[in-house]
Amino acid sequence: MYDQATRDLGAPAAEPTILQATEPDGAPRIAVLDILRGIAILGILFMNINDMGGSLWAMFGDFRNLGWTQADQVAWWLREVIANGTARCMLELLFGAGMVILTDRAALSLGKRVVMKRYYLRNVLLLGFGVVHLFILLWPGDILHSYAIAALAAFLFRRMRPRWLITIGLVAAVAQFGGAGYFAYYQPLQERSQVAAVNEALAAGRPVTADDRKLLAKAATDDAKRAKSKAESHAKIVAEDKARTGSFATWAAMQWSVTVTLQSQGFELIVFWEAVSVMLIGAALYKLGILQGLRSRSFYLRMTLIAYAVAIPLRIVGAIEQTRFDDAPKTMWATVEVAREAMTLGHVGAVCLLLGTGFGARLLRPFIAAGRTALSIYILQTIVCLWILFPPFGLALYGTLGWAGLMATALAINIALLLLANAYVRRFDIAPVEWAWRSLVEGRALPWRKATPPPFSGELRPA
């Protein structure tokens, strides 16, 4: 299977490269999508491990709390510019592609109503797995439940033409660019300029108007709110550090508390909006043959260069703004989603370019196994980090590693998981968590071991 995948990955074709169906429920495998999924699911640990091995609240406050040595700064910059949010974005794109694959395949034999019922069941069950991940395995950053909910909405648009899917999908990025650009960046910037002018007039003894004094009062109130917010953020970080280095009870209570707080503050709505939008773009890119590597090398070269040309400068500017550690309005509040999606498309293009070469195909071949076992790898990352490395009852490494140490740890874990995934798929057809999920969808226990071929009888028969 892998040899065929490697041969097929390099050249464009008229149809997606669908490998021989080896999934027990008959799901087709597309090698390029498995590679992208494998890269994304391993990459997501670089985004999560800082919240697993250090304060999650620090990500909403002062991320120097995790460490800010020279090595930490290099690790943070690499993560922020190249990777931040891209693994999540790639998974959202692939979720949209999977929606098209699953529903189109099933529609040929089952009919539209049955397809909808089956797809909704699939995602309701995934939602259940996400809830377990949230409240039993205690990971507040779970994406399974979010993607399951988003997929239920994205499904309604699946049959639209690619240009409409892309248009609707870009709404989130455009809305953030316009809304946050005006309300979060331009307005505060203008207000700061006006306040500076009024203060300059007062210092020079010039008269000011009643509106000017109202503006100064508002600015003072805003400054007080920001100071209070900083103090509250610092208190949250201190409380989290204490709880997560205490006992199992204090650790578990803190994890539940973070989950409840994030959900109550509308975090889920933001993730839903983002995920639906990118899923629709992913569905369009699949229909256009882009995600499967079916376009020409010149197409992927242009795509990669343009995407990186947009993303990299925006990311660098955003990183500079964050590392000023001040209260000034930031352009990245408006451009973060545009930069995230552009960087992800650049990564997709780069992977497809690599797969067009013999060396690249060999280099990326192991990620097929990670893509086939992505759900189990995602859960294993949580178990290794939250239940072995960083909890107070395990190795108790919480708070002991800076950015550099956390990124190095994520790399080591991912190498081990990649090796494990490749060893596993040589013997089994389906990974454990995937088996449980798909068995529930099918309503029967799926076979999971590879079928043993019958012994050779010495007699050759025509195929």
Q: For 439-451, what is the HEC assignment?
A: HHHHCCCCCCECC
pLDDT at 102: 84
pLDDT of residue 400: 97
Res 295: pLDDT:
96
- pLDDT of 172 reads 85
CA-to-CA dists, residue 299 to 14, 89, 294, 346, angstroms = 15, 21, 10, 12
How far is the C-alpha of 76 from the C-alpha of 55, rounded, in Å? 15
- Using CA atoms, how far apart are residues 392 and 390, in angstroms rounded to an integer? 7
What local confidence, expressed as pLDDT, does residue 51 receive?
Answer: 96
pLDDT at site 116? 84
Phi, psi of 318, deg, nearest 5: -60, -40
Amino acid (1-letter code) at residue 364: L
Residues shown for the chain = 463
Task: Show the DSSP H helices in 82-209 as ranges.
Answer: 86-110, 112-135, 144-154, 162-169, 171-179, 187-203
pLDDT value, residue 460: 41
Which residues touch 231 (CB under 8 Å, ≥6 apart)?
Answer: none
The SS3 call for residue 111 is coil
8-state DSSP, 155: G
The predicted pLDDT at position 140 comes to 96
* Secondary structure tally for the chain: helices H, strands E: 19, 2
> What residues pair up with 18 in beta bridges, in sequence order?
30
* Parallel, antiparallel or unpaired: strands 18-19 and 29-30: antiparallel
User: What integer pLDDT is reported at residue 161 of this predicted model?
Assistant: 95
Cα separations in angstroms, 6 against 3, 220, 356, 366, 382: 5, 63, 10, 10, 31
Q: Who's near 262: CB < 8 A, 6+ residues apart?
A: 140, 268
| Buried-state track 323-355, b at ≥16 Cβ within 10 A, e below 16 | eeeeeebbbbbbbbbbbbbbbbbbbbbbbbbbb
In angstroms, rounded to a whole number, what is the distance separating the alpha carbons of residues 197 and 227?
23
Residues 6+ apart with CB under 8 A from 227: none
SS3 408: helix
Task: Tell me the residue ranges of DSSP E strands in 3-94.
Answer: 18-19, 29-30
Per-residue pLDDT of the chain (463 residues; tens, 9 = 90+): 333 434 444 344 434 444 444 566 566 778 999 999 999 999 999 999 999 999 999 988 889 999 999 999 999 999 999 999 999 999 999 999 999 988 876 555 666 778 888 899 999 999 999 999 999 999 999 999 999 999 999 999 988 999 999 999 998 899 989 999 999 999 999 999 999 999 999 999 998 899 999 999 999 999 999 999 999 999 999 999 999 999 999 999 999 999 999 988 888 888 999 999 999 999 999 999 999 999 999 999 999 999 999 999 999 999 999 999 998 999 999 999 999 999 999 999 999 999 999 999 999 999 999 999 999 999 999 999 999 999 999 999 999 999 999 999 999 999 999 999 999 999 999 999 999 999 999 899 999 887 665 554 444 443 3
Distance CA 265, CA 285 (A): 33
What pLDDT score was predicted for residue 39?
98
What was the pLDDT predicted at 117?
Answer: 87
Predicted pLDDT of residue 457: 47
Three-state DSSP class for 224? helix
Q: What is the pLDDT of residue 114?
A: 80
Give the model's pLDDT for residue 463: 36
Burial 436-451 (b: 16+ CB within 10 A, else e): bbbbbbeeeebebeee
